[in-house]
Structure 1
């Protein structure tokens, strides 16, 4: 790397809504008429979704501007079709998803059944630059224990099909049904990683390499590690916080690998359990402490995460921003907590929750 902070970019999947707050299957129309100024907008699996992406940037201020511009562009494009955009990881309102009419997506719908039919979920994928695949795999081998706290911070999907789920991130439950989703073993080398991917594709269970949905993976399109564990964040500040911590995790892991430090002893079954627990209780209960694999208050585990990456945050000039953003998050709650509060205030009107999220698309 150059000595400057690693570049970081964020892909956000966003929910299209009708003016009444229900999912709106209008992605095709929106994308057909989107103007160049609306930014890089793409299809996702369902017609009720849009995806935006920031360019790679080095400062958190630039990232916040790019995220806000992407969300504003998506809203402008959707508005031309009487639709709204919300950063919600699942729809609070019941839905029947509409698969995008592309051969690959339709094949996935046929092949995977209800797992694909119900896949109206929105994640946030953070891309952090790495020097090459060897460094990228060394990073993937070392960051697994800290991904569950990122899910807890971003949790933004407490409702599903018109009702409460008891989960802070029900998206993570729905997403985990894909055969390759979740944590991975230690690979040890780029060659071993690529061999594992080739073997998964060769099983015929998944359609192609793009369906290798590891919690952290080498990007097929960019020279990055892609962290895929998070819900799309309700507000811009939470997305910036997520990206800052993700970049610091990658930098910390790369430094540890360069120093010859071995990967942590983190069996996939423990990583999967930590992930489940983060999706269940978010920041409102205990998480698993990566140092002991025992339950500890979420505040303490998040504090341990910040301590783990403190040097990288400081060297990037992000430590004070992360401290401030975390303080604000603890004060207001993550997206799931705010959605539940809005539902209570509206006497259970989940369409009102969705519309309130759309109102706050550019907040933070």
Structure 2
């Protein structure tokens, strides 16, 4: 493989511009901006109406990633401004908020299962997809970079406040998110068979609704040839976000090289 492509998904908080209170307009904004932008960015709903997801096109360099992140945030913010809002990159809402579920059937099923856990889920993650050659390589990468995931979380931490409280955590988003089943770090798999069997056993338990609810800190994407690193908070500064995404790609590449050289997971 040459230079691995990498792309990011950012979950942004929607706030009212003057009061700074979370604003439940996510579905409305996506309904009015359904077509991908000329830059390749796409706006999508998240779990709560007070959120907006921006999917960025894949990149190959740090500078390209920075430009892409800035453009995606500008697109989301411009859409929010149309209704008197702003789109901001914070990983939890600092102020108290009554969340409003996006009225999609899958989200309604998840909310029914999650109860209070679902109501507390107004969290902004930063998901980085990095290209892989094969699922075998992807699992080998997951096995070898797992020890670095807590460091990535620490570098990204952007959610000390929640519900009007200084939580004492640098990333309270991660504490909230970890209340879901099938979250967090994973053990070493060793093979695609072991990875698939682990996922099948979790789904057979009936606790996760579907494969999309296998919320591991890092996982194989089920719809494109990438590993998806999901552990990090969305970063306030786009430069920090771009550097973090590039660092994640470097860890993926290093892990793949160690696998090809025969080094076992640490």
- Give the TM-score taking structure 1 as reference length: 0.71
State the match for 1:22 in structure 2.
21
Following TM superposition, the consecutive aligned residue runs of length 4 or more in structure 1 with deviations greater than 3 angstroms are 35-39
Paired with 1:215 and 1:157, the residues of 2 have a C-alpha distance of: 17
Paired with 1:76 and 1:221, the residues of 2 have a C-alpha distance of: 29
Is this contact kept in 2: 1:92–1:159, CA < 8 A? yes
Once the two structures are TM-superposed, the CA of residue 54 in structure 1 deviates from its matched residue by 1.2
Once the two structures are TM-superposed, the CA of residue 35 in structure 1 deviates from its matched residue by 6.9
Paired with 1:52 and 1:232, the residues of 2 have a C-alpha distance of: 11
Is this contact kept in 2: 1:135–1:254, CA < 8 A? yes
1:32 aligns with 2:34: no
Deviations 1:168-212 (CA, angstroms, capped at 9, x unpaired): 100010011111110001111111101111111110001000100
Deviations 1:205-230 (CA, angstroms, capped at 9, x unpaired): 01000100111100112110000010
Is this contact kept in 1: 2:34–2:43, CA < 8 A? no
Greater C-alpha Rg: 1
Is this contact kept in 2: 1:35–1:77, CA < 8 A? no
Structure 1 alignment gaps of length 5 or more: 265-364
For the aligned residue pairs, the C-alpha RMSD in angstroms reads 1.1
1:164 aligns with 2:162: no
Once the two structures are TM-superposed, the CA of residue 34 in structure 1 deviates from its matched residue by 2.1
State the match for 1:241 in structure 2.
243
Is this contact kept in 2: 1:124–1:232, CA < 8 A? yes
* Correspondent of 2:205 among 186, 203, 207: 203
Structure 2 alignment gaps of length 5 or more: none
Paired with 1:106 and 1:201, the residues of 2 have a C-alpha distance of: 18
What secondary structure sits across from 1:128 in the alignment? Answer: strand
State the match for 1:140 in structure 2.
142
State the match for 2:4 in structure 1.
6
State the match for 1:212 in structure 2.
214
1:189 aligns with 2:191: yes
Is this contact kept in 2: 1:29–1:81, CA < 8 A? no
Paired with 2:107 and 2:9, the residues of 1 have a C-alpha distance of: 19
Paired with 2:188 and 2:28, the residues of 1 have a C-alpha distance of: 43
Gap change, CA 1:140 and 1:35, over 3 Å in 2: closer
- Give the TM-score taking structure 2 as reference length: 0.96
Paired with 1:227 and 1:134, the residues of 2 have a C-alpha distance of: 17
Paired with 2:128 and 2:255, the residues of 1 have a C-alpha distance of: 16
Equivalent pairs counted in the alignment come to 262
Once the two structures are TM-superposed, the CA of residue 142 in structure 1 deviates from its matched residue by 0.7
Deviations 1:264-299 (CA, angstroms, capped at 9, x unpaired): 1xxxxxxxxxxxxxxxxxxxxxxxxxxxxxxxxxxx
